[in-house]
Structure 1
Amino acid sequence: MPTDQSCSSDLPRWSPALLLADLAGTARFFSRLPIPRLSRRDDPSALPDFRRAAALAPLAGGLIALPGVLLFAALSATALPLPAVALIALGLGIAVTGALHEDGLADLCDGFFGGATPERRLEIMKDSRIGAFGTLALIVTIGLKAVLLAALAARSGPLAAALGWWIAEAGSRAVMVTVWNRLPAARPGGLAALCGQPDRTATLIALGLGLLPLLPATYVFSPLALLLAAALAGASGLLVARLALGRIGGQTGDVLGASQQLALLGTLTGLCAVA
């Protein structure tokens, strides 16, 4: 992440131009999408002020997920096996984000389970090399996501599975923002120090935006499946938060990425667990 950029915090809290700028900036930060300038307040070279902009993380997550979700829906109409379709679409999704959150999950597993002290864990997490714990975590989680998407498509139809994936991408960002808000920064000069920590208002808005897609989804999934999906997503975030607080004393970008990945996996698990 660049460190020579500064966040702009001298703007009014909410305005249409600022909302567009926050959405574009958040999507740029968490992906490699070539998003053009959307408003006069939008500076593509500046980092977002996440004290406010994190409110739109679920919307940005839904936008970032669209290429993979649409590819999944399109390829499901071919004769390709559904597990292959899921893996190809997940691969595109990973390419769109630059494996940002997957990298966070791998670093967290390497650090949390490979270091004996908080200092050593943080040192391992900062190392760009991947270890055995991180490799296994990626194999298991990506494999599980592919299996769950394929199973959901086989049972409920490809469009339902695509919708479930999109819901999971948006909702998992709300979980990530909540973890970000609740935990102190584990190291100085990290993401929170650079661009701020989501405040209470931004966190509540993110939660609302993350839960909102569940309402129309009741036409596709049972209320029990949606309730279980939301519960497992929240439990995943809580697990990551408790582990992070106990092992390194707070959150880092890797912790946030891991919380998003596990919340996404929890959502898909909940949708698949109930017919």
Structure 2
Amino acid sequence: MKHILTGIVLALQFFSALPIRKAFEMNARSATVMYGAIPLIGLGIGALQAIFLTVNDTYFTLSPLFTAILLVVLHFVATGGLHMDGVIDTGDAYFSYRDQKKRLEILDDPRIGAFGAMTLVLFVLLKVGVLYELLLRGLPLLYVILVPFIARQAVILVFITTKPSKETGIASYFKKTVNERTLLWIVISYFIGILAIVMILQNWLLLVLYGALLAFTGLYRSWVKRNFGGVSGDLLGAIFEWGELILWFVLLCIL
């Protein structure tokens, strides 16, 4: 039980902006739980966004555009903008059109290049635009809560099915530490939970989102293997943001 609680706290420490300063023991069990809890962090962020939308509709009724902007800001605040670093570095590395070795070097470079800045602007504009259109169509709170939860499962799936791009780094460290079979069963349990919601609410669109998630996971996995030789911390960080944006796009095409 102790390693489960430690793993959840580590997930909050690593993947949210909560100011948890205490150091916790990192071992195979707690690291596995930490990765397995990533979708739960998404669930919490989704619930926070749903609360914001409820309060806005009840007391403020801000315009859909400004509401979409605030949703993006709220997401950045909740995560500390941590995963956007992966989006920026990935954009810098990929659009450099250099060889694989040089791309990996660019990923490790803490400086932001022109391509990274352009990728950031493009991402933010796309996310604000998609959320704006969804709000105009009456975005149900169920999806506000569950899309971040479903999207973050792509991080686990890519992580356990893709080798690290290099022998050093955070992805390589955790790859050697976590129990990948346990992580797979955690993802399966999440799917069973969503399937139960589908059956209770008769909402088959959630299964469409899961199908989109699996398609995105497969395509992203092939892309990182082809362009980077494997996955890294930055490439995993990019999945947090692009995976969620893809699911919002899918939802926009259906609603």
Q: Which bin holds the TM-score, normalised by the shorter protein? A: 0.7 to 0.9
Name 1:7's counterpart in structure 2.
none
Task: Tell me what 1:204 maps to.
Answer: 185
Kept in 1: contact 2:64–2:132 (CA 8 A): yes
Equivalent residue, structure 1, for 2:94: 112
2:53 maps to amino acid? F
Q: How many pairs does the alignment contain?
A: 250
SS at the partner of 2:110? Answer: coil
Equivalence for 1:23: 8
| Preserved contact between residue 172 and residue 232 of structure 2 (Cα < 8 Å) | no
Partner Cα distance (2:40, 2:107) in 1: 28
CA shift, 1:218, in A, is: 7.1
Find the partner of 2:56 among 75, 78, 89: 75
1:141 to 116, 123, 131: 123
**Given the alignment, which residue of 210, 234, 243 partners 1:254?**
234
Q: More helix by proportion, 1 or 2?
A: 2
Matches within 5 A, 1:169-208: 169-195=148-174, 196-197=177-178, 199-208=180-189
How far is the alpha carbon of 1:122 from its aligned partner?
0.9
Q: 1:64 and 1:24 mapped to 2: Cα distance?
A: 15
Taking a change above 3 Å as real, the CA distance of residues 18 and 45 of structure 1, as seen in their structure-2 partners, is: closer
Percent identity at matched positions? 25
| Structure 1 contact 165–268 (Cα < 8 Å) conserved | no
Q: Which moved more, 1:26-35 or 1:59-68?
A: 59-68
Contact 2:16 2:41 (8 Å CA) reproduced: no
Deviations 1:69-123 (A, max 9, x none): 4223322442311121121121121122121112111211211221411111011
Matches within 5 A, 1:39-118: 44-47=23-26, 49-77=30-58, 78-118=60-100
Change (3 A) 1:22 1:58: same
Q: Contact 1:69/1:165 (CA < 8 Å) preserved in 2? A: yes
Q: Please list every run of 5 or more consecutive structure 1 residues that lacks an aligned counterpart in the other structure.
A: 1-14, 37-42
Alignment TM-score, normalising by the size of structure 2: 0.85
The alignment yields a C-alpha RMSD, in angstroms, of: 2.6
Distance 1:53 1:133, change over 3 A: same
Contact 1:171–1:211 (8 Å) recurs in 2: no
The structure showing larger relative contact order (alpha-carbon pairs under 8 Å, at least 6 residues apart) is 2
**1: CA distance between counterparts of 2:251 and 2:200?**
13
Instruction: Say whether the 8 Å CA contact 2:198–2:207 is kept in structure 1.
Output: no
**Alpha-carbon contact 1:115-1:124 (below 8 Å) kept:** no
Supply the distance in 2 between the matched residues of 1:219 and 1:274 (Cα, whole angstroms): 21
- Aligned-partner SS, 1:59: helix
Partner secondary structure for residue 168 of structure 2 = coil
